[in-house]
Amino acid sequence: MERKKFLSSLALAGVGGTIFTSCLNSEDKSQMKNTHAGFSPGFIFHSVYFWLKDGINKEEEKDFLNFFEILKKVPGIESCHIGKPAATNPRPVVDNTFSYHIMLTFANIEAITKYETHPDHLAGIDQYSKYWKKVEVKDTLLGE
């Protein structure tokens, strides 16, 4: 239920399909409503930005994307969105120098804590970190 609220708020904020690729199945997508709804206190937005190494070829980039396939299967994730930088107007406050962004949502701090230490998450980092030169994580806690 919470993932539908999140996606509805993205629609209201003008975030379109060209920015994010949803990891939801078609049934979840068809049940979404385009109305604004609040989030439960304690809800977590987990945003991770990746800068891939210079000189990555198409095959290596495709292999890197398998990392996201592993991550989105880790239990506890409410929603998952994967995207590349949007071609928005350049401004001093905009940083679209990253290569990929994954945004995961979690119902609470316990869920994200389990995710962070999950063996698949850690194994994925070990396997795919060879492709990135920089990663930034920004976690947001809503309404406590």
Largest CA distance in the chain: 44
Domain boundaries, the chain: 2-141
Using CA atoms, how far residue 6 sits from 34, 58, 97, 107, 134, in Å, is 10, 32, 25, 11, 27
Helices 109-117, 119-128: axis angle to 10 degrees equals 50
Number of H helices, E strands in the chain: 5, 5
Is 3.30.70.100 the CATH classification of the domain at 2-141?
Answer: yes
What is the full per-residue pLDDT of the chain (144 aa) written as tens digits?
Answer: 444 444 444 433 334 333 344 555 444 444 433 222 456 778 999 999 999 999 999 999 999 999 999 999 999 999 999 999 999 999 999 999 999 999 999 999 999 999 999 999 999 999 999 999 999 999 999 876
Which 8-state DSSP code applies to residue 88? Answer: P
